[in-house]
Amino acid sequence: MKRGIIHGLLPLLLPYCALFCAGLALTLAQSLGLFLPLGSGEITLEHYQPLIQDQGIRQSLGLSLFVAFFSAAGSVLGGTILALALWRMPPPLRRVGVVSKVGLILPHVAVAFLVLLMLSRTGLVSSVLFQTGIISSPEEFPNILHTGSGLGMILAFLLKGVPFALLLIGTVLFGFDIRLVQTAHMLGAGPLRTFWSVTLPRLLPAMHSAFIILFLYAFGSFDIPFVLGESHPGMLSIRVFDIFFQRDLSQRPEAMAILTLMFVFAALFAMLYNRFAAYLDGWRRKL
Amino acid sequence: MRVIIFLSLFLALTAGCSEAPQEESVLQQDYASLENLARGSEVRWHMWGGSAQINQWVDTYVAAEMKRLYDISVVRVPMDAPVFVNKLLTEKAANKDTGTMDLLWINGENFKNAMQAGVLFGPFTDRLPNFAAWYDTQKSAHDFGYPVDGFEAPYGRAQFVFEYDTDRTPSPPATLAELADWIKAHPGRFTYPQPPDFTGSAFLRQIFYATTGGHEQYLSGFNPELYAKNAPQTFSWLIDLKPYLWQEGRTYPKDAAALDTLFARGEIDMGMSYHPAHAQMKILEKTYPETVRTFVLAEGAIFNTHFTAIPFNAPNKAGAMVLANFLMSPEAQLSKFKPENWGDMPALEVAKLDEAQRQTFDAVDLGAATLGADELSAAAVPEITSEYLELLERDWDKIILGH
Amino acid sequence: MRHAPTIIVLALMFLLPIVVLVLQAGAPGWRFPELWPELSLDGLHFLAARPRPFLTALANSLGYSLATVALTLAMTILPAKTLAFTSFRGKNLLEGLLLLPALVPAMTFSMGLHFIFIKIGLADTTPGVILVLAMISYPYMLRALTTGYTLMGREYAVCARNLGASKRRVFLEVELPQLLPAMAAGASVVFLVAFSEYFLVFLIGGGSVASFTGYLFPLITSSNRGLGALITLVFLAVPIVLFIALELGLYRYHRKRWMR
């Protein structure tokens, strides 16, 4: 039986080890000073030290976490609200929801482009406000794209994330047995209570999945920060790109060190998040 | 069973990597046989792809002429210079003897890094007939102060200019002091691309020259004490003006293209470019309004020559040499000079041409937005050794951005 | 109408961008504060004059994206069945580990993989790009197929085997048709991921593998917004056309086989 299982999993395990694990191993190795074109060939932790001391890296990490959290949370929230709104529509009207697939299909660079077109100081929204007399010059338009807090990036991630969350949550919601809700109503529960105790628990797994995926994606994303990112602080992934492609070859281990830490963070986050979600659920039940 | 399939696949793939380079034989042959050798082959030319106009010129004129004259297909690959130099360094470290790039558009510190790492092929320019015929070997002997030694072939000349819109700015500043006053009088309407972008870095060097008394003192090689003494003046000028810049100097456009967009859309009032005909090109493209003009500061406008070079592991060195030679020909230089194609100044010596050819060059109309050759050469100041550049960029990061 | 707010939100978030793109594509010189830009077909002329790089990039992207779909299918179909129908100690952990490549930032393993690829000659090649794209997208196909198999259950296959059908026949005529919806779902996601990917194709392909995203990227930050908008619209249209074709194909297939 065991041989059968391994045999069945082999088409996947082989490339998994040869490509994914090997790639990770080499990133780790290079961060430790091995396999480097200009290295001494001995294991060393010296490339990790500047990371801990460098204030710029800490700021980049902070920005990446901030942008990832708010874009993921916003997407899940927005996706849930939209899913609920669509659910309450009669099924024929519900088809309008398919429009949201545009957000899924557009590549990330295109979404960043759209944010630029619409929300830059001389963009479309600004033009509309100007024409309606609300503002009288581009300077009066709020500085959305360059606040230093990554707002532009968050908006771009939302445009991609809301349809994704909508898809995941909507699948659960639209397959929901309406009788459960009706039973709750019959037993006297108000709409809010019904939502909290009957609907929400069934949506939570999908919401958590969406959150993890969107959070980790935004954390390590390259396309959107490259177009919409700002000089200072930059997102962590752009820092790595910078060191890897624009600087001296001797600085490469530092980039690998950052990547190794990013991987460890992502893996831990994925594993621990489920425990945290279960804890939150227990807390919620007590209410 | 699957393991065997996998292994054989891997072996098959690695088997293709052991072609020995034909370096010596290519350099031994005379040019005519190189042309024969390269007939019917493909040359992959890696160059900066941020200008649709330049891309189009390469894809139409250059590709068509190379096909017609030599039966060589030119494939343009967009890739920034630091990226392909990095790629070559990695390939050299991994002992990849046959790469994928044949010709590179390169200059400045990228050339220096590539030379110091030994990833370029050459010397080859002495084998190209157009080089001896039309070029001044002295003038093309140094690239940002670093000796060329025949490892790169001249391609064009560029000079740094500022751009402004006569509609919004009727009289542009003429000196550094006037520029500073103008910036303070128009807060939020000026910025420059973030170094190490090529244009942003050039602006930094311009300010360096202008605030420290000119370029002559830097011409004799890198002097760390001189830098340490003079650089603070540059940075205090920049810091002084930082709050009056776009976004209060907290953030800068990522590259020259982003700066162009800000200027084109009216978010800032001045642009800059290391290419004198750039503004005219943008006007023709309808991205800039027709009222845009260019100016230079009295303290001088940096100029440089840009080149083409061949990687050590180029698969088609003969073809690359034929292309480099073609680009240096009077016909190609003339076509490149026309602003509807590119407007890049010729690298050849117009004086060496015969009367008729010289007239065709003189007749090129660079457009209203481009400064005349006399004005440009009057203001021209040369580039200095790139160690200064690297230190300026590094200190800019530290002092202005706080990294 | 109480559904109006939802419709308005949907229209603003997803229809408005398309309108904006169409307008910008037709008006490269669109500047503040014009609301109704002056139209010019320069962008279209530019493309029509030299379609070759544009078409090459598009064809290449389509090619390697479809190849990625095929590869992920081959990689995950048997494992999906194994995961759906067997249980063993550590299965949850294994499933979690197998999903990691889609979760962790692609940069973390691709930079290291790039070095390995250079050594074995896969860098700058299309097979190399296909391999790396398959690595980040297979989890979606795996999940879709596992769900598909779980929903299908083992009974049909057991029944057919009892009736004497060979393993091959069981797969082709009993399991495959029932898996088609799941395969289509997985294929759609894998295709989108591969088609929209920029960084990995740029890293592993090294400029030698033409990609549509590589064609679009420099245009986004340039001041030539008209062309950027035009290419973005093509980017939108291609998957839509393919998905419609897929839906029609599936519909016809099911009609032919009389499946409800």
CA–CA separation, B239 and B254 (whole Å): 19
| Touching chains, B (3+ CB pairs < 8 A) | A, C
Mutate: best of B251, B252, B399, partner A, most A CBs <10 A: B251
Chain C partners of A102 at a C-beta cutoff of 8 Å?
14-15, 17-18, 236
Low-confidence residues of chain A: pLDDT under 70 = 1, 37-41, 248, 286-287
The SS3 call for residue B45 is strand
Element (H, E) at B164: strand B161-165
In this complex, the residue of A107, A114, A241 whose CB is nearest that of residue C17 is A114
Contacts of B377 (CB under 8 A, 6+ apart): none
Q: For A131-171, write each residue's pLDDT tens digit.
A: 888 877 777 777 788 777 889 999 999 999 999 999 888 88
A11/B267 Cβ within 8 A: no
> Is residue B104 within 8 Å of B84, Cβ to Cβ?
yes
Chain A residue with Cα closest to C81: A8
Chain B partners of A10 at a C-beta cutoff of 8 Å?
2
Chain A residue with Cα closest to C191: A105
Q: For C7-51, write each residue's pLDDT tens digit.
A: 888 888 888 888 888 878 777 666 666 666 666 777 677 777 777
Q: How many CB atoms lie within 10 A of CB B401?
A: 18
The single-letter code of the amino acid at B306 is H
| Touching chains, C (3+ CB pairs < 8 A) | A, B
A120/B94 Cβ within 8 A: no
Q: For B295-328, write each residue's pLDDT tens digit.
A: 999 888 998 899 999 999 999 999 999 999 999 9
The mean per-residue pLDDT over the stretch B171-193 comes to: 92
Residue with tokens 């061949």: B310
Q: For B291-301, write each residue's pLDDT tens digit.
A: 999 999 988 89
- pTM exceeds 0.90, yes or no: no
* Å between A15 CA and nearest CA of chain B: 10
Mutate: best of A124, A141, A212, partner C, most C CBs <10 A: A124
Chain B partners of A229 at a C-beta cutoff of 8 Å?
254
DSSP A147: S
Looking at the predicted structure, is the pLDDT value of residue C132 above 50?
A: yes
Q: What is the pLDDT of residue B20?
A: 38
Residue with tokens 């996998």: B6
The single-letter code of the amino acid at B104 is L
Residues of C with CB under 8 A from a CB of B: 28-29, 31-32, 40, 42, 46, 50, 52-53, 115, 118-124, 127, 206-208, 214, 218-219, 221-225, 227
Chain B residue with Cα closest to C46: B56
A122/B265 Cβ within 8 A: yes
Burial of C212 per CB tally in 10 Å (0-12, 13-18, 19+): buried
DSSP B382: -
Looking at the predicted structure, is the pLDDT value of residue B16 above 60?
A: no
Q: For B255-274, write each residue's pLDDT tens digit.
A: 888 898 889 888 899 999 99
Q: For C93-120, write each residue's pLDDT tens digit.
A: 888 889 889 889 998 999 889 888 988 8
* Å between A231 CA and nearest CA of chain B: 5
**Nearest residue to C81 via CA among C166, C176, C162, C184:** C176
In this complex, the residue of B44, B84, B287 whose CB is nearest that of residue C29 is B287
Q: Does B221 touch chain C (CB under 8 A)?
A: no
In this complex, the residue of A88, A103, A220 whose CB is nearest that of residue C104 is A220
CA–CA separation, A126 and A140 (whole Å): 9
Task: Spell out where B274-398 has E strands.
Answer: 292-295, 301-309, 380-381
The SS3 call for residue B272 is strand
Q: Does A124 touch chain B (CB under 8 A)?
A: no
Q: What is the pLDDT of residue A37?
A: 64
In this complex, the residue of B196, B247, B401 whose CB is nearest that of residue A146 is B247
Q: What is the pLDDT of residue B113?
A: 86
Residue with tokens 């281990």: A253
In this complex, the residue of C32, C46, C208 whose CB is nearest that of residue B100 is C208
State which of A66-75, C165-174, C177-186, C237-246 shows the largest mean pLDDT. A66-75
Chain B partners of C42 at a C-beta cutoff of 8 Å?
286
Dihedral, CA of residue B98, residue B102, residue B103 and residue B104, to nearest 10:
-40
Chain B partners of C221 at a C-beta cutoff of 8 Å?
254-255, 257-258, 261
* Six token digits for residue B34: 């190189």
Q: Does B13 touch chain C (CB under 8 A)?
A: yes
Q: % helix / strand / coil in chain B, to the nearest 5? A: 50, 15, 35
The mean per-residue pLDDT over the stretch C222-228 comes to: 75
Q: What is the pLDDT of residue B181?
A: 93
Q: What is the pLDDT of residue A157?
A: 95
B86/A245 Cβ within 8 A: yes
